């Protein structure tokens, strides 16, 4: 059974705090292992990557077979059923259209002093996308990571997608083709992250690494950050649903389970001002669990980390939701637009009972790579902006330097930085001759 809380109870705050601070990441201590793998790849390049791939993925490769050839990709995607191809193409077009609207504008203006200021946006030159491997890999994640990079203008985009024992998901390769990926390498783990960050004889280094992975991949991304950019360190998936009495309890139950089935450490939470709905949803979850192929995973998640919280009002629900800062937030209430302004912290928000979170995972358009573990308090989901850099621009005329230069010299002197002040003073003296 999940945790049942009521905001009217005297022990509510203590129990809520326990939920907020519960550690759901059950990763082993892998940092030392990852450090050794990264050092090995840096020292031996391809040889280390190939040895580790054979050891962990039971797949012997050579430098020439590390990447899929165009013919191999063509052969794999030829067998994709037409309905799956059509669905993936629809998803790609919608994700592209949404992210194209995120492109920011350059700006330049001239002040009264004559100084010209502004900024411009340019894409990183190369990005690497990590895709978890095997038959359980997710083509939707390829689209969500690769399409924003291409829209941003990234010139070289590569994917690392491990294929343990040679298992290939043709949809992953089709998604890479639809997204404009240049190369797909059949390697994974911390060794793939190291290869993307530092390069090998075969794999050129990239500037940014994005995409989900296991504890070893997450630890490797932490270690290479600074050498390259990364998107985020994602934890187990989360969904929080705010619902009122009008909501369909069976719909809410399945929405909660849609995240619980991802991982035993995932978290699904219902906030409602209706005690009757709270009971009905809990009963519906139990009934639906028995029908799910991944019922053991979903059941463990719901039992250990699930919660049904009854509140006094929807306003209170919004306040509590902000404390969770959930990855996914559904507002299954009669007037979701009225509740929306009261929400500050969430990775993605889904408005109304006809907008299940699962739509956002595939074809909605917004990105499904989102902040977890309450990090939506200070970060955002993946976007075009993750693949862009803003460069500031400034140009002084002699008149502009005369107007603002003396202040710069004064501040430099106050900080004890003589060369700073002198670099301005020399130009001012030139103007005053």
Instruction: Report the alpha-carbon distance of residue 360 to residue 379 in Å, rounded.
Output: 18
240 has which bridge partners? 269, 329
**Mean pLDDT across 16-38:** 85
Among positive and negative, which fits the CA dihedral 127, 371, 281, 351? negative
Q: What is the pLDDT of residues 253-299, one digit of tens each?
A: 999 999 999 999 999 999 999 999 999 999 999 999 999 999 999 99
- 404: CB partners within 8 A, 6+ apart: 113, 115, 396
Among positive and negative, which fits the CA dihedral 42, 44, 48, 49? positive
According to DSSP, residue 384 is labeled: G
Q: Residue 136's pLDDT is what?
A: 61
Q: Which residue in this structure is represented by tokens 């603002």?
A: 404
Q: Is the pLDDT of residue 135 over 90?
A: no
- As a whole number, the mean pLDDT across the chain is 96
**Mean pLDDT across 179-196:** 97
Helix axes 275-289, 295-305, angle to 10 degrees: 150
**Mean pLDDT across 288-316:** 97
Strands, sheet with 388-395, edge to edge from the N-terminal-most edge strand: 107-110, 116-123, 388-395
**Mean pLDDT across 184-198:** 97
**Mean pLDDT across 318-331:** 98
**Mean pLDDT across 109-135:** 93
The answer to whether 181 and 67 have CB atoms below 8 angstroms apart is no
Q: Classify residue 194 by burial, with Cβ atoms within 10 Å: 0-12, 13-18, 19+.
A: buried
Q: Classify residue 64 by burial, with Cβ atoms within 10 Å: 0-12, 13-18, 19+.
A: exposed
DSSP string, 288-354: HHTT-TTHHHHHHHHHHH-EEEE-S-HHHHHHHHHHH--SEEEEESS-HHHHGGG----SEEEESTT
The answer to whether 392 and 119 have CB atoms below 8 angstroms apart is yes
272 has which bridge partners? 243, 310
Euclidean distance between the first and the last CA atom of the chain, given in angstroms as a whole number: 84
**Mean pLDDT across 18-26:** 79
The answer to whether 215 and 302 have CB atoms below 8 angstroms apart is no
**Mean pLDDT across 175-203:** 98
Q: Is the pLDDT of residue 25 over 70?
A: no
The residues that are catalytic are: 327-328
Q: Residue 234's pLDDT is what?
A: 85
Q: What is the pLDDT of residues 41-70, one digit of tens each?
A: 999 999 999 999 999 999 999 999 999 999
Instruction: Report the alpha-carbon distance of residue 52 to residue 15 in Å, rounded.
Output: 45
Tell if the pTM clears 0.85, that is, is over it: yes
The answer to whether 178 and 92 have CB atoms below 8 angstroms apart is yes
Show the domains of the chain with their CATH numbers: 3-25+235-364 (3.40.50.1980), 31-104+125-230 (3.40.50.1980), 396-432 (no CATH)
- 229: CB partners within 8 A, 6+ apart: 124, 207, 208, 209, 386
Q: Is the pLDDT of residue 24 over 80?
A: no
Confidence bin at 414 (pLDDT 50/70/90)? very high
**Mean pLDDT across 6-19:** 96
How much of the chain, in percent, has pLDDT values that exceed 90? 93
Q: What is the pLDDT of residues 354-410, one digit of tens each?
A: 999 999 999 999 999 999 999 999 999 999 999 999 999 999 999 999 999 999 999
Confidence bin at 100 (pLDDT 50/70/90)? very high
Confidence bin at 222 (pLDDT 50/70/90)? very high
The answer to whether 33 and 218 have CB atoms below 8 angstroms apart is no
Instruction: Report the alpha-carbon distance of residue 237 to residue 271 in Å, rounded.
Output: 17
What tokens appear for 337 in the block?
Answer: 């637009």
Closest CA to 372 of 229, 274, 235: 235
Confidence bin at 22 (pLDDT 50/70/90)? confident
């Amino acid at each position: 059974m999940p945790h049942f809380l009521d905001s009217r109870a005297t022990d509510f705050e203590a129990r809520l705090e326990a939920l907020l601070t519960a550690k759901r990441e059950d990763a082993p201590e892998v940092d030392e292992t990852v450090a050794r793998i990264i050092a090995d790849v840096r020292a031996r390049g391809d040889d280390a990557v190939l040895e580790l791939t054979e050891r962990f993925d039971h797949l012997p490769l050579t430098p020439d077979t590390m990447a899929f050839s165009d013919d191999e990709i063509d052969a794999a995607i030829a067998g994709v059923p037409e309905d799956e191809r059509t669905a993936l193409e629809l998803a790609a077009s919608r994700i592209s259209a949404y992210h194209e609207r995120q492109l920011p504008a350059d700006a330049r203006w001239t002040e009264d002093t004559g100084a010209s200021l502004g900024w411009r946006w340019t894409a990183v030159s190369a990005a690497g996308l990590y895709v978890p491997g095997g038959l359980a890999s997710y083509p939707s994640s390829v689209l969500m990571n690769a399409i924003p990079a291409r829209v941003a203008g990234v010139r070289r985009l590569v994917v690392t997608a491990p294929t343990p024992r040679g298992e290939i998901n043709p949809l992953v390769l089709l998604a890479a083709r639809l997204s404009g990926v240049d190369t797909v390498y059949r390697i994974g783990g911390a060794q793939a992250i190291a290869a993307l960050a530092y390069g090998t004889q075969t794999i050129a280094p990239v500037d940014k690494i994005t995409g989900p992975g296991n504890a070893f991949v997450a630890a490797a991304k932490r270690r290479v950050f600074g050498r390259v950019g990364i998107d985020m360190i994602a934890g187990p998936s989360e969904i929080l649903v705010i619902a009122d009495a009008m909501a369909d309890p069976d719909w809410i139950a399945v929405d909660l389970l849609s995240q619980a089935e991802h991982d035993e450490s995932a978290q699904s939470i219902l906030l409602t001002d209706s005690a009757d709905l709270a009971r009905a949803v809990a009963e519906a979850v139990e009934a639906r669990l028995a029908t799910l192929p991944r019922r053991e995973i979903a059941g463990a998640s719901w039992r250990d980390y699930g919660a049904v919280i009854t509140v006094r009002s929807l306003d209170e629900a919004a306040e509590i939701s902000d404390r969770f800062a959930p990855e996914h937030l559904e507002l299954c209430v009669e007037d979701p637009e009225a509740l929306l302004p009261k929400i500050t912290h969430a990775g993605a928000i889904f408005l109304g009972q006809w907008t299940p979170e699962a739509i956002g995972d595939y074809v909605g358009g917004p990105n499904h790579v989102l902040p977890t573990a309450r990090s939506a308090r200070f970060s955002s989901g993946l976007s075009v902006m993750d693949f862009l850099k803003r460069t500031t621009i400034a140009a002084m005329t002699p008149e502009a330097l005369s107007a603002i230069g003396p202040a710069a010299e004064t501040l430099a002197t106050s900080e004890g930085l003589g060369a700073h002040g002198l670099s301005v003073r020399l130009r001012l003296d030139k103007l005053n001759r």
